[in-house]
Structure 1
Amino acid sequence: MDQTDWCEDNDFALAVALSKQDSPESKNSKDPTVSIVDDYWEINDPNPDIRALFLQYNQSYFWGKLLSVEVRWSPKMTLCAGLCIYQKKAGYCSIRLSQPLLKFRPRRDLVQTLLHEMIHAYLFVIHDNRDHDAHGPCFLEHMHRINSATGANITVYHNFHDEVNVYRQHWWRCNGPCKDRSPFFGYVKRAMNRAPSKNDPWWSDHQQSCGGTFIKVKEPEGYGEKGKKRKKLDKDNDNQTKITDFHHAKKVNDNIDRAQGTSISDGSRSINSEKSVDNDNQNSSISYATIPFSGKGYVLGSNDDKSSTANYRFPALMADELRYVKCPICHRTDIRHSIINEHLDNCLVLKEN
């Protein structure tokens, strides 16, 4: 056998091997190269890197067109397994996968959910499909194409009802007539502590047909105790902030005398600083004496840029009035030191409501 015949025989053997990989018999085998949803992966790679999967599927089923698309886990998404966000003007496309829901599911559900959202991303980026909920002919065409090529079972919807209900720990029930009507019997179940209100699209219909009041009947174990501990911790932090602010104020200026209602002596002059507080109205009034200036200042038109202000002093309360501190609750940094306590009280009221 010469070298040419040997090469032809090897080419033929390679072609036969490749055809066997795509044959129906091979698809039923346990070869890990057969299908991306084969049971082999459930044992050998149960928790894959979603970015690595995305890159692999992008090259295999979407012709490498989705390299600009972001994919990441969402730790708070509990109503659906996957979501594709598209903003054309910003050139932004992101796939979010629900970590709480998919961690309960087999690996194939993760794969099929990812491929479902990648089809959406492909239609958004390539075909400028702006309907984020559309599962029309274009979506179905790609869905059937990938299902046929991989053996997957991508569907139009991927809401896992059992897993969604696990996270719905906050329950309310209406005390009106709808509590006896199927299928909900007056129950509203949510993953977050948000009571039914006029912000819900069905609220007006409920008011007309029932008119009952929703009463909370269930919440996660220990949820109320956590809230009380958090409020107590916030209150302790507020008290700590108020005390440390007054201690820190002593370091503002070494030349400032912090005596209240006393006389600050400066040579032959005296400066009176007074502060009166109305406890009933909680209003503060500050009065300052006129401060005569002594020393040398700038002379207009002169090249001498030196000035003497060594003997000039600011009143202590004026320094506090001009100093700004950061609120530990709303994190604003433009709060005047003189009104920080009143601001903290307002922030606490807003936070409790």
Structure 2
Amino acid sequence: MSLTDEDAAIQAISSLDPLTETQITAQREINSTVYSDDTSVDIHDLFRLYNALYFRSLLLPRVEVSWSSRLTLCAGICELTKDNQGKYRRIRLKLSEPLLKYRPRSDTINTLLHEAIHAYFFVTTSWRHSRGDDGTGHGAGFLLLADAINNHGGYLVTVFHTFHDEVDSYRTHVWQCGGPCKEQSPFFGLVKRSMNRAPGQSDTWWKKHEEECGGTYCKISEPGLTKEQITKLSAKERAGRQKNKLDSWMNGTREGNKCNVPRGAVARELTAPNTGARSKRPGSPIEGSFATAEKKLLVACPICDLAVSEQEINEHLDAKHMC
């Protein structure tokens, strides 16, 4: 009969009473690290120590531990993948650098332990772990071992460890649906992603959206270029970028907005009908003065910093900086 997660958890828990000399040494080193004034975390060294204390020294060298700069939807992940022989024996444990680098050190330690529990079950029960009694790997065995580790070391290993504010801060690519779903909670037709991947047929919910809404998604926000990306732009590309910023400012739209959604608009405001013109109060004295100011608007050339009339910026760029 195959070993279950619950069986493997009981074996790990049984090894905690009494502790061996190796476990006692590991616990002493862990305490000196966890309760030190140093705010940094050496996840590789801690993983080595936790392997000896809680996981029967079964995880190394099989489990690969690393920081991930691309993991932005959850704090950590543990994967069972194919090795060079095509068998599911390779285990990779990754922690999210973007989400954890500004969090308290305890969050990194709890996340490391959470993923180490998954790694332990992958070692002991293989692929059956991810198909356990709850289908997510957080069944009775996981809860049993996590509870034992929490009680033994005073940790706070939980089933879920996503940090909503941090996750949302990296979802800077935003699309808005123009169909009926933009008036429906909880999403109001908004799709936010950390990667520039537009909503489409690869999404599991796409077919349902086509049937029930049928609206078209339009990108309304995206992150700006990094300093490194800007320095790599050609003079012509930088000039075009400056013109786009000017157009966005003059039209009152946010940069990256492909749908002309007003700057600062929220989901509910997007339901208002678009009249096709910028509305102003009748007789507003600002209207006439704004037109005059627009004619005299000076902008800095993005290449030579010369002050040039907004209407003449393109001619200036063509004459002085065309490559």
Report the TM-score, using the length of structure 2 for normalisation.
0.57
Displacement of 1:141: 1.0
Task: Please say if 1:121 is aligned against 2:115.
Answer: no
Displacement of 1:166: 0.7
Please say if residues 30 and 49 of structure 2, whose CA atoms lie closer than 8 Å, have aligned partners that are also in contact.
Answer: no
The count of aligned residue pairs is: 200
| Counterpart mapping for 1:40-59 below 5 A | 40-41=35-36, 44-59=37-52
Displacement of 1:71: 0.3
Match of 1:109 among 107, 110, 115: 107
| Counterpart mapping for 1:6-85 below 5 A | 40-41=35-36, 44-67=37-60, 68-85=62-79
Match of 1:187 among 166, 181, 190: 190
Q: 1:109 to 1:36 in 2, by over 3 A?
A: farther
Q: Which runs of 5+ in 1 are unaligned?
A: 1-31, 236-353
Q: 1:83 to 1:39 in 2, by over 3 A?
A: closer
Q: Which residue of 2 aligns with 1:254?
A: none
Partner letter of residue 197 of structure 1?
Answer: G
The superposition leaves residues 185-240 of structure 1 with CA deviations (integer Å, 9 ceiling, x where unpaired) of 110001111111111111011111111111111111347x988986759x9xxxxx
Secondary structure of 1:91's counterpart equals strand
- Highest CA radius of gyration, 1 or 2? 1
Displacement of 1:49: 1.1
Report the TM-score, using the length of structure 1 for normalisation.
0.52
Please say if residues 77 and 115 of structure 2, whose CA atoms lie closer than 8 Å, have aligned partners that are also in contact.
Answer: yes
Q: Which runs of 5+ in 2 are unaligned?
A: 1-26, 131-135, 238-323
Partner letter of residue 215 of structure 1?
Answer: C
Please say if residues 30 and 46 of structure 2, whose CA atoms lie closer than 8 Å, have aligned partners that are also in contact.
Answer: no
Please say if residues 80 and 127 of structure 2, whose CA atoms lie closer than 8 Å, have aligned partners that are also in contact.
Answer: no
Sequence identity, in percent? 47
Q: 1:102 to 1:181 in 2, by over 3 A?
A: same
Q: Which residue of 2 aligns with 1:259?
A: none
Q: Which residue of 2 aligns with 1:177?
A: 180
Task: Please say if 1:155 is aligned against 2:149.
Answer: no
Q: Higher relative contact order by CA 8 Å / sep ≥ 6: 1 or 2? A: 2
Displacement of 1:129: 4.3
Secondary structure of 1:130's counterpart equals helix
Please say if residues 121 and 129 of structure 2, whose CA atoms lie closer than 8 Å, have aligned partners that are also in contact.
Answer: no
Q: Which residue of 2 aligns with 1:97?
A: 95
RMSD: 2.8
Partner letter of residue 120 of structure 1?
Answer: H
Q: 1:128 to 1:39 in 2, by over 3 A?
A: closer
